[in-house]
């Protein structure tokens, strides 16, 4: 693709070429990129210093952060190409009225695509909310029970613990099992759980982001009228899930499905409408459900980004395919850890190791700083474990390419060879 004539000193910020948008900045600020993976640009002498094609790969790192986390490259590029003028509307999604037809089409498509991905039945509402998953720690008890009601919390990590502590303000929660004394390395057998026969709900955190403990199947509440509630923030849309096993699922977007600022709630409709009197309007699920998540101004751009991610996941073949990729990536990394003869160690019980967050320690902990520094030099960043556990943590969400995990594993082997 040849560069078009873009020579005027104050050229417009954006010009459309055949396939993509080319961004221009003043000569002094932008070096020319003459090649990139997706676009091949031949710069003439006069345009050379002023042309920057916003493609990447070469200049992006492998970001192993736990969230906000890496997003699919093609989604970022699509958002970039639509940023300035969405579908000929003459404005960016950031500038649109949330009640206009354009944004309505965006949120409706996002919901429809999410429904297809997770096979969400009609008797469940899908809500796009704000306040992160942390807000749901309060919204769940406020909506699902009266002040004195009993509820059960199965705690497999610090997010479940935080959810329990918040619920104490609004109902009568009980921790029926906690892995804290063992430093959160497992999920208990469901047979021995002392579930309360009157509990309005049983709460789990489906994937504990910090400790890397993931439920592979789910407990059933003992109360026939009780429901299972799951915080799926860090494994949402990473694999198929039978939504009908849950009364409510919630997930902050910023790990697998979008930027921070959006929290998705999937809730069975018959559970709506019984919020405690003190419930703030913004935490009342029924109000959001009745208004299709447009009761007030929603996080429009974040919802748009989630929609692009859902579209991409469907294009990949849906969550069965996505799960296969995630299993492959996680398998390679856990194998490398397990085969390192103790140089690296993952403390989590094998049967419940997370496909998304892989924590590991170095036998020689004095090497951790060097490991991180060397990894960063190789453009692999955010590998430091959570401050509460130390060690390393590689978050390998849907958008982490296989190449990123392969590169990390090659680096780990090399590092070991140098320091064993
Ligand atoms: N639950 C889990 C499992 C998480 O990983 C996080 C964030 N790391 C939260 C809840 C809190 O999410 P937020 O910061 O969006 O409130």
Architecture of domain 318-419: Alpha-Beta Complex (3.90)
Which atom of ligand 1 is the closest one to the Cα of 205? 3
Residue 12 reports pLDDT greater than 60:
no
Cα–Cα distance, 320 to 316 (Å, whole number): 9
Global pTM? 0.88
pLDDT digit string, tens, across residues 322-369: 999 999 999 999 999 999 999 999 999 999 999 999 999 999 999 999
pLDDT digit string, tens, across residues 70-127: 999 999 999 999 999 999 999 999 999 999 999 999 999 999 999 999 999 999 999 9
Residue 380 reports pLDDT greater than 70:
yes
86 is catalytic: no
Residue 378 reports pLDDT greater than 70:
yes
DSSP structural state of residue 197: T
When pLDDT is averaged across residues 137-146 and rounded to a whole number, the result is 98
255 is catalytic: yes
Query: Catalytic residue among 152, 159, 284, 384, which?
Result: 159
Residue 410 reports pLDDT greater than 60:
yes
Contact 68, 76 (CB under 8 A): no
pLDDT digit string, tens, across residues 225-251: 999 999 999 999 999 999 999 999 999
Helix (H) or strand (E) holding 5: none
161 is catalytic: no
Contact 128, 303 (CB under 8 A): yes
Probe residue for ligand 1, chosen from 69, 159, 161, 355 as the CB with the greatest number of ligand atoms within 8 Å:
159
At 59, is the pLDDT very low, low, confident or very high (cuts 50, 70, 90)?
confident
Beta partners for residue 229, in sequence order: 203, 248
For CATH 3.40.640.10, list the domain ranges present in the chain. 74-316
Q: How many CA atoms lie within 13 A of 123 on its CB side?
A: 8
pLDDT at position 388, please? 82
Residue 309 reports pLDDT greater than 90:
yes
Residue 6 reports pLDDT greater than 50:
no
pLDDT at position 57, please? 67
Contact 138, 166 (CB under 8 A): yes
At 203, is the pLDDT very low, low, confident or very high (cuts 50, 70, 90)?
very high
Residue 14: CB atoms within 10 A of its CB come to 13
Dihedral (CA of 93, 97, 98, 102) sign: negative
For CATH 3.90.1150.10, list the domain ranges present in the chain. 318-419
- For residue 253, how far is its CA from the centre of ligand 1 (angstroms)? 9
Residue 44 reports pLDDT greater than 70:
no
Pocket of ligand 1 (CB under 6 A): 67, 132-134, 159, 205, 209, 231, 233-234, 252
pLDDT at position 3, please? 36
Dihedral (CA of 337, 341, 347, 353) sign: positive
pLDDT at position 10, please? 36
Contact 371, 403 (CB under 8 A): no
CATH code for the part of the protein at 74-316: 3.40.640.10
């Amino acid at each position: 693709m040849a560069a078009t004539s873009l020579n005027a000193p104050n050229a417009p910020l954006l010009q459309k070429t055949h396939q993509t948008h080319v961004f221009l900045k003043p000569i002094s600020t932008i070096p020319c990129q003459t090649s990139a993976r997706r676009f091949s640009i031949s710069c003439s002498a006069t345009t050379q210093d002023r042309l920057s094609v916003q493609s990447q790969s070469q200049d992006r790192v492998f970001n192993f952060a736990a969230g906000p986390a890496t997003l699919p490259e093609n989604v970022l590029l699509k958002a970039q190409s639509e940023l300035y003028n969405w579908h000929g509307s003459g404005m960016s999604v950031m500038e649109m009225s949330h009640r206009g037809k354009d944004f309505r089409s965006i949120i409706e498509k996002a919901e429809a695509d999410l429904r297809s991905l997770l096979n969400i039945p009609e008797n469940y509402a899908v809500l796009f909310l704000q306040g992160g998953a942390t807000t749901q720690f309060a919204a769940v008890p406020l909506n699902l029970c009266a002040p004195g009601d009993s509820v059960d919390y199965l705690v497999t990590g610090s997010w479940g613990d935080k959810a329990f502590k918040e619920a104490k303000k609004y109902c009568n929660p009980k921790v029926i099992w906690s892995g804290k004394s063992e430093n959160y390395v497992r999920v208990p057998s469901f047979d021995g759980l002392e579930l309360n026969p009157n509990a309005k709900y049983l709460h789990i955190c489906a994937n504990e982001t910090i400790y890397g403990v993931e439920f592979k199947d789910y407990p059933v509440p003992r109360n026939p009228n009780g429901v299972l509630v799951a915080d799926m923030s860090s494994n949402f849309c990473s694999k198929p899930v039978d939504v009908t096993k849950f009364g409510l699922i919630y997930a902050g977007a910023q790990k697998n499905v979008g930027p921070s600022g959006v929290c998705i709630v999937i809730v069975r409709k018959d559970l709506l409408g019984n919020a405690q009197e003190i419930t703030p309007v913004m935490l009342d699920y029924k109000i959001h459900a009745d208004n299709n998540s447009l009761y007030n101004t929603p996080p429009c751009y974040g919802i748009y980004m989630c929609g692009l991610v859902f579209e991409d996941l469907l294009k990949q073949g849906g969550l069965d395919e996505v799960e296969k990729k995630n299993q492959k990536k996680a398998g390679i990394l856990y194998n490398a850890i397990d085969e390192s003869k103790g140089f690296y160690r993952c403390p989590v019980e094998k049967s419940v190791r997370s496909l998304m967050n892989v924590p590991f320690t170095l036998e020689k902990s004095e090497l951790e700083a060097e490991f991180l520094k060397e990894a960063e030099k190789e453009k692999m960043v955010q590998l430091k474990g959570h401050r509460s556990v130390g060690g390393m943590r590689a978050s390998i969400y849907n958008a982490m390419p296989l190449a990123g995990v392969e590169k990390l594993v090659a680096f780990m082997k090399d590092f070991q060879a140098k320091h064993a």
